[in-house]
A = this chain, B = another copy of it.
Amino acid sequence: MKVLITGGAGFLGQRLARDLLARGALRKTLQNGGAPEPITELVLLDTTPAQAPDDARVRVETGDVADRAVLERLIDADTAVIFHLAAILSAEAEAEFDLGMRINLDGTRALLEVCRALGHHPRLVFTSSVAVYGGDLPEEVQDDTALDPQSSYGVQKAMAELLIGDYSRRGFVDGRVLRLPTVAVRPGRPSGAASSFASGIVREALNGETAVCPVSGSTSIWLLSPRKAVQCLVTAAELDSAVLGTRRIVNLPGVSTTVDEMIEELSKFGGSKAVGRVEWVPDEVIERIVSSWPSSWNVARAKKLGFSGDASFHAIVKVYVEDELPWAEKKRA
């Protein structure tokens, strides 16, 4: 089968590509343990060329996900699984309204339309977000809690969810929407996400750099490690369509923590020196967006479907240190 990743040069796209190439195949029914089907081609689409290993299966393509001609060139009837990760993230979509609409809404619609025209009903795994929630929220968000997004990013993701739901109901695609917690700790540089600080305060501080925290210590946040996020994406692709039924959306497991608790963990891994590198610079826009998101939701359905999250924020930082900072791990051991 052919697999397409939009946003293939992005952080999650790169991780996912590495994982897919290593496993080499995807099953068509997770539930009945169907035989894995080899991945014959893995297309990585992004606006900048994705990094990729020297592997005959990989095809790196550059282009705009909202440009239908680009998608028509890359998707054919053998494209069995599409991971649609390309997105303008929360802070950027708030600052650049038109860009967010074009990529987050029109891009998703273009992708759906190309699949509809082909008529081959591919599995489409879409990454949605905590940001679809907002307003008056219960302590723990339930599957039937109403969406009330308080950012353009959240609105665009919610609209894309609705579209994918309808295209799935009509049989145009076989959609699977994953609402992701904030994915942290990410390596690399700060992103256009309002929650970028959640990675930064650990990453920069452990790396000997100043880490800016734009929100207050009591801010609650709902987190998932990159490793688990990639696992969830693969699980979503392998799920039996029948077990999802008409509900194509899954609220993924996460870990609920506060910024203060995160700093406490930071001190365990990097000591008071690391903690001292955190600079508190309140940013009203970021604070408003992040605090509108739920800090926990009921994950019973996700767990029943086979998705799993992290054990704790401590475990998340441990994974980050293992995966990205082997030197730090040694220092600690």
- List residues of chain A with CB under 8 Å of any chain B CB: 97, 135-136, 143-150, 152, 155, 158-159, 162-163, 165-166, 169-170, 246-247
Q: Please, which residues of chain B bring their CB within 8 A of the CB of A159?
A: 159, 162-163
Contact in complex: A146, B144 (CB < 8 Å): yes
Taking CB atoms, residues of chain B closer than 8 Å to A146 are 143-147
Q: What distance in Å separates the Cβ of A137 from its nearest Cβ neighbour in chain B?
A: 9
Task: Identify 11 residue pairs between A and B in the complex whose beta-carbon atoms are under 8 Å apart, listed by A's number.
Answer: A135-B247, A136-B144, A143-B146, A144-B146, A146-B147, A149-B166, A150-B169, A150-B246, A152-B166, A159-B163, A162-B162
State A247–B162 Cα separation when bound (angstroms).
20
Q: Which of B147, B149, B150 meets A147, CB within 8 Å? A: B147
Q: Please give the distance in Å from A94's CB to the nearest CB on chain B.
A: 9
A211 to chain B, nearest CB (A): 30
Q: Is the CB of B170 within 8 A of A97?
A: yes
Partner of A158, one of B145, B148, B162: B162
Interface-central residue, A97, A144, A169, by most chain B CB under 10 Å: A144
Asked whether, in the complex, the Cβ of B162 is within 8 Å of the Cβ of A166, the reply is no
Task: Report the separation of the CA atoms of residues A158 and B149 in the bound assembly, to the nearest whole angstrom.
Answer: 13
Q: Which residues of B contact A163 (CB under 8 A)?
A: 155, 159
Cβ-defined contact, A162 with B170, below 8 A: no
Q: Which residues of chain B are near A247, meaning CB under 8 Å? A: 135, 148
Q: Are B135 and A162 in contact (CB under 8 A)?
A: no
Q: Which 4 A-B pairs have the closest CB atoms?
A: A155-B166, A144-B146, A146-B146, A159-B159
**A145 vs B143: C-alpha distance when bound (angstroms):** 10
Minimum C-beta distance from A156 to chain B (A): 8
In the docked arrangement, what's the CA distance between A146 and B133, Å?
11
Q: Which residues of B contact A165 (CB under 8 A)?
A: 149, 155
In the bound assembly, the distance between CA atoms of A152 and B167 in angstroms comes to 9
CB distance from A221 to the nearest CB of B (A): 22
- For A143, A155, A246, the residue with the greatest tally of chain B CB atoms inside 10 Å of its CB is A155
Is A135 in contact with B246, judged by CB distance below 8 angstroms?
yes
Q: Which of B136, B144, B155, B169 contacts A145 (CB 8 A)?
A: B144
A89 to chain B: closest CB distance in Å? Answer: 16
Contact A149 B170, beta carbon cutoff 8 Å: no
Closest chain B CB from A120 CB (angstroms)? 18
- Shortest Cβ distance from residue A133 to the other chain B in the assembled complex, whole angstroms: 10
Q: Which residues of B contact A162 (CB under 8 A)?
A: 147, 149, 155, 158-159, 162
How far is it, in angstroms, between the C-alpha of A163 and the C-alpha of B163 when the chains are bound?
A: 13
- In the bound complex, residues from chain B placing their C-beta under 8 Å from that of A147 are 146-147, 162
**Cα of A162 to Cα of B147 in the assembled complex, Å:** 9
Q: Give A148 to B145 CA distance when docked, in angstroms.
A: 11
Instruction: Give the Cβ gap from A158 to chain B, nearest Cβ, in Å.
Output: 5
A152:B170 contact, CB within 8 angstroms: yes
What residues on B are CB-neighbors of A149 within 8 Å? 162, 165-166
